[in-house]
């Protein structure tokens, strides 16, 4: 990705309206999944890749999760997320990083949540960053989109979101599992949730 990355040209309001659209339904599902895995894993250090406006952060239990790090390529998204959650998550750190260009170690998390990120970074770049920022026995939860023969970006009438299609690539679930295994991750669970438009979200729970 370059400085002309389409995500820098999509207003957060448009993105969130698209994700909440009744034909898409991804915001509600991803919020549910965030709560599910936070409750199950109970992480002390949590990293959210592609955090956007912070959907799901309301489920952070600050008595359990002592450090929350959010990463996104769009600094405007981070500014809005910070304003939304700075008072309720005092440990919140937000970092403006392009995962394709930057795989530096910033922490050793016991939970990394990558929801609909690999479609834009590729499998290898995302796994490289995660491996550099996860502790032994840490949990990596990855959600990817399965189009089920539908078009990649659902038609919601929000024109700016179509820009994301310029760099969107479907992630092959078998390839994801294979590359994760080669990198040292062990699959301990997976699920598939159908969306209103006939697409689905496949979620893989790995441990390293």
Over the stretch 168-177, which tens digit does the pLDDT of each residue have? 889 999 999 9
33 has pLDDT over 90: yes
Q: Pick the more confident residue, 10 or 65.
A: 65
Domains, in order of start, for the chain: 6-207 (3.40.50.150)
Q: What is the pLDDT of residue 159?
A: 65
| Between residues 76 and 162, the one the model is more confident about | 76
Inter-CA distances, 60 with 26, 39, 72, 82, 153, Å: 19, 9, 18, 14, 30
Are 188 and 40 a contacting pair, CB within 8 Å?
no
Pairwise pLDDT comparison (6 vs 138), residue with the higher score:
138
Average pLDDT over every residue of 147-158: 57
Q: Give the DSSP H/E element, type plus range, for residue 40.
A: helix 26-41
Q: Which two tokens stand for residue 184?
A: 């040292």
């Amino acid at each position: 990705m370059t400085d002309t990355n389409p995500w820098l040209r999509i207003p957060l309001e448009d993105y969130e309206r698209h994700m909440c659209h009744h034909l898409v339904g991804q915001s509600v599902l991803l919020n549910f999944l965030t709560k599910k895995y936070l409750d199950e894993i109970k992480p002390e250090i949590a990293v959210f890749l592609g955090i956007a406006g912070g959907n799901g952060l309301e489920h952070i239990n600050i008595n359990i999760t002592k450090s929350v790090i959010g990463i996104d390529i769009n600094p405007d998204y981070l500014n809005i997320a910070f304003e939304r959650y700075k008072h309720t998550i005092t440990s919140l750190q937000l970092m403006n990083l392009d995962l394709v260009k930057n795989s530096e170690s910033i922490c050793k998390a016991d939970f990394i949540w990558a929801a609909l990120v690999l479609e834009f970074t590729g499998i290898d770049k995302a796994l490289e960053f995660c491996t550099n920022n996860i502790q032994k026995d840490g949990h990596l939860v990855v959600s990817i989109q399965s189009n089920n023969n539908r078009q990649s970006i659902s038609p919601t009438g929000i024109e700016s979101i179509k820009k994301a299609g310029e760099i969107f690539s479907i992630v092959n679930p078998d390839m994801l599992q294979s590359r994760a295994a080669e990198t040292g991750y062990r699959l301990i669970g997976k699920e598939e949730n159908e969306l209103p438009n006939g697409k689905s979200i496949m979620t893989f729970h790995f441990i390293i």
